[in-house]
Amino acid sequence: MSAVEISPAAGTDQEARAEAARTRRNWLLSLPAVILLLFAASGPLVIVLIYSFLTPGDYSGVKWIPTFDAWTSILFSRDIFDDTLRLADAHLTIFWRSASLSLLTTLITFLLGFPTAYFIATRPPRQRGLWLFLITIPFWTNLLIRTFAIMEVIRNEGLLNKLLMMTGLISEPLQILYSDTAVLIGMAYVYLPLMVLPLYAALERFDFRLVEAGYDLYAGRWMVLRKVILPLVKPGIVAGSILVFMPSLGAYVTPRVLGGGKHMMIGSFIELQFGQGRNWPLGASLSMLLLLIVGIGLFFYVRAMSKEKAHD
């Protein structure tokens, strides 16, 4: 009798012990990843955060005197004579340029990427792989090299100008290089695949029979796009926009090479603080600000998506 009564309890005890062992083993297995994340990802971030509250060193580095100067100097510059704060116009220009160029890049990649993704998603399944493969080819080459290739295309004696001159559309070469337009072209080119891929993922799941249903119910092409396709691929549009907008905001290589230093964006501006500017705390606070903006953006995205899921 007693043996029968004990055995189920013993069973649960054994199960609990096995469960504990499993948990321990899983922790041990994930330990390298946890250590790596802590020290390689979070560690440097913490250092940057601390530096943003310190005083710049005389030549470089920081002095361990805590201050909010770095954060205030993002938006304001302190008058050296009367110590009053004024809006730092130069900084605002850089922020504005970064934001507007990033938004424009997002818009351009969407306008180019949507038809591309639509085209791929409507190919026969066996052909789609090939098209996606072609989209990812640029990723195989170093970003710097691709940027120089763009430079080769748009410079005064470059491919584009030569072609336009040959066709007689222009008589003088267009000065595209070292302008905002050049930066825009470069960023749109570099980030286009990041827009195409999530759009394709959304369109691939889209039930194209709904397009026929739309046509059947008196919606023309434009209305079908607006009322049926776009609302249903919205998650892909948002994901693609975030994937393009966020890195555009902090882009460094492309604006530096194609914008020629005159048209600075946040990325170059941060780099400047750690180099010639010798203002590490400002660089650190700018970096943290960028991270904050991206973080807030992602937060709203995730919340919007989970809301959408709850609706379904």
Neighbouring residues of 122: CB distance < 8 A, sequence distance ≥ 6:
208
- Per CB under 8 A, the list member of 44, 129, 220, 261 interacting with other proteins is 220
**Is 212 among the residues that bind other proteins (CB under 8 A)?**
yes
**Is 302 among the residues that bind other proteins (CB under 8 A)?**
no
**Is 216 among the residues that bind other proteins (CB under 8 A)?**
yes
Taking the complex as a whole, how short is the minimal distance between the CB of residue 221 and other proteins, in angstroms? 9
Contact indicator for 36, 248 with CB cutoff of 8 Å: no
- Per CB under 8 A, the list member of 50, 75, 219, 253 interacting with other proteins is 219
Binding segment (CB under 8 A) for other proteins, from list 5-13, 17-25, 86-94, 213-221: 213-221
**Is 227 among the residues that bind other proteins (CB under 8 A)?**
yes
**Is 228 among the residues that bind other proteins (CB under 8 A)?**
yes
- Per CB under 8 A, the list member of 207, 292, 295, 298 interacting with other proteins is 207
Taking the complex as a whole, how short is the minimal distance between the CB of residue 230 and other proteins, in angstroms? 10
What whole-number distance in Å separates Cα of residue 128 and Cα of residue 134?
Answer: 10
Contact indicator for 110, 237 with CB cutoff of 8 Å: yes
**Is 168 among the residues that bind other proteins (CB under 8 A)?**
no
Neighbouring residues of 201: CB distance < 8 A, sequence distance ≥ 6:
236
Binding segment (CB under 8 A) for other proteins, from list 18-26, 139-147, 219-227, 245-253: 219-227
Taking the complex as a whole, how short is the minimal distance between the CB of residue 233 and other proteins, in angstroms? 10
Taking the complex as a whole, how short is the minimal distance between the CB of residue 296 and other proteins, in angstroms? 26
**Is 231 among the residues that bind other proteins (CB under 8 A)?**
yes
Neighbouring residues of 139: CB distance < 8 A, sequence distance ≥ 6:
193
Least Cα distance to 101 among 247, 278, 209, 206 occurs for 247
Binding segment (CB under 8 A) for other proteins, from list 18-26, 35-43, 176-184, 221-229: 221-229
**Is 311 among the residues that bind other proteins (CB under 8 A)?**
yes
Least Cα distance to 117 among 243, 204, 239, 212 occurs for 204
The single-letter code of the amino acid at 276 is: Q
Which residue's CB is nearer to other proteins, number 25 or number 221?
Answer: 221
Q: How many CB atoms lie within 10 A of CB 289?
A: 17
Contact indicator for 297, 217 with CB cutoff of 8 Å: no
Q: Which residues make beta-bridge pairs with 65?
A: none
What whole-number distance in Å separates Cα of residue 21 and Cα of residue 24?
Answer: 5
**Is 82 among the residues that bind other proteins (CB under 8 A)?**
no
What whole-number distance in Å separates Cα of residue 110 and Cα of residue 301?
Answer: 17
Give the 3-state secondary structure of residue 63.
Answer: strand
The single-letter code of the amino acid at 283 is: G
DSSP secondary structure code for residue 179 in this structure: S
**Is 232 among the residues that bind other proteins (CB under 8 A)?**
yes
Which residue's CB is nearer to other proteins, number 262 or number 311?
Answer: 311
- Per CB under 8 A, the list member of 32, 81, 209, 309 interacting with other proteins is 209
Binding site for other proteins (CB under 8 A): 207, 209-210, 212-220, 223, 227-228, 231-232, 311-312
